Amino acid sequence: MGAMVEIKNLSKRFGPITAVDDISFAVQRGEVLGFLGPNGAGKSTTMKMITGFLAPDSGSVRVGGDDLELSPMAVKQRIGYLPEGAPLYADMTPYAFLDFCAEIRGFRGDEKRRHLDDVVAKVHIEQVLSQPIATLSKGFKRRVGLAQAILHDPEVLILDEPTDGLDPNQKHEVRTLIRTMATEKAIILSTHILEEVDAVCTRAVIIAHGRLVCDGTPAELEARSRLHNAVTLLVRSGAINGAQQQLRALAGVDSVELLEEHDGVARFQIYPKDGHSIVSSVGEAAREGGWRIEELRVERGRLDEVFRAVTTGSTSREV
């Protein structure tokens, strides 16, 4: 069996704008793919093409082995989709709305009841079931949207900014829910919150200006950061200048930055050459110099830094 979702050379233009430009990737069962990119990068447009809402100008989408163009029904049945902003029929109650979705998904009678009870419990919307959706808080609306997406226990979940605008507790809940479903599904979620990638994603792609610029596990992406394997060192010492000199002279060290200094404590950031590990030589230098170390930490690298580098880098190349 091939990948659960397979996208090949997908492109979409809106007049003069190329919203999606030759994007290809695949998602396996068990993977949670984080879909990153600046505003207007083409994330939502890509998702709309995968779910069959928009027809691509070129390229193909296969879901569970079926081609979207040839058998749209089979593909749509496999997918659960939460569109951006979680649009809902505002004048319906969550119960009536989910009941409608369940019937469209082909459930009747006891089976329908079971699926509804199940999903209502999963997203915790018991107390608002018979209140018009228009009067619900944003958090509840989002949960109703999620409920609709997972109602038929789809093999593929496409979630466009599922935690956008939620409070920290609700974000946490949604992420937990996604993680619990992750093992038996292929999930694609877009987000602007980079910590979310670490929290739930097994893999991340970054797109900018419709093009795929990065694809890897969160750890691989972090490794591309200038900060990867950098050492943060907090020392209490009279001879701060001397320490800086000594650090800079170490083999494997690219540069040393004095981040702050107060109350006789200095915080250094030591960048390695080519991302090699330098923590042992820094530790050794400290011991030899007799510095009093308050803190010594190895950085993994920061996603936001990588994000900025690859998404703004591609603009400067283009223009």
Partner 1 sequence: MGHTWTILKRELASYFTTPIAYVFIVIYLFLSGIFAFYLGNFFGRGQADLNSFFTFHPWLYLFIIPALSMRLWAEERRSGTIELLLTLPITMWQAVAGKFLAAWAFMAIALALTFPMWWTVNYLGEPDNGVIVASYIGSLLMGGAFLAIGACISSLTRNQVIAFIVTAAACLLFVLSGHPLVLDFFKGWAPAFLLQAISSFGFLSHFDSITKGIIDLRDLVYFASFIAFWLFANVVVIEMKKAD
What is the contact surface with partner 1 in residues (CB under 8 A)?
14, 48, 51-55, 73, 76-77, 79, 81, 83-85, 87-92, 96, 100-101, 103-105, 132, 148
Q: In whole angstroms, how far apart are CA 199 and each of 134, 171, 262, 302?
A: 31, 11, 34, 14
Does 83 participate in binding ligand ATP (rule CB under 6 A)? no
Beta-strand relationship, 156-160 and 186-190? parallel
Does 163 participate in binding Mg ion (rule CB under 5 A)? no
User: Is 16 or 238 the residue whose CB approaches partner 1 more closely?
Assistant: 16
SS3 sequence, 196-247? Answer: HHHHHCCEEEEEECCEEEEEECHHHHHHCCCCCCCEEEEEECCCHHHHHHHH
Taking a C-beta distance cutoff of 8 angstroms, is the pair 181, 32 a contact?
no
Does 40 participate in binding ligand ATP (rule CB under 6 A)? yes
- Considering only 17, 55, 219, 249, the residue that binds ligand ATP (CB under 6 A) is 17
Q: Which of 68, 17, 59 is nearest to 42 (CA)?
A: 17
Hey, what are 51's tokens?
């779910």
User: Is 186 or 221 the residue whose CB approaches partner 1 more closely?
Assistant: 186
Q: Choosing among ligand ATP, partner 1, Mg ion, none, which partner's interface includes residue 76 (Cβ < 5 to 8 Å by kind)?
A: partner 1
- Considering only 19, 102, 212, 256, the residue that binds ligand ATP (CB under 6 A) is 19
Write the interaction track for Mg ion spanning residues 64-103; mark x where CB under 5 A is met and - where it is not. --------------------x-------------------
Q: How many alpha carbons fall within 13 Å on the CB side of residue 314?
A: 17
Q: How many alpha carbons fall within 13 Å on the CB side of residue 200?
A: 28
Size of the site for Mg ion (CB under 5 A): 3
Contact residues toward ligand ATP (CB under 6 A) are: 14, 17, 19, 37, 39-45, 84
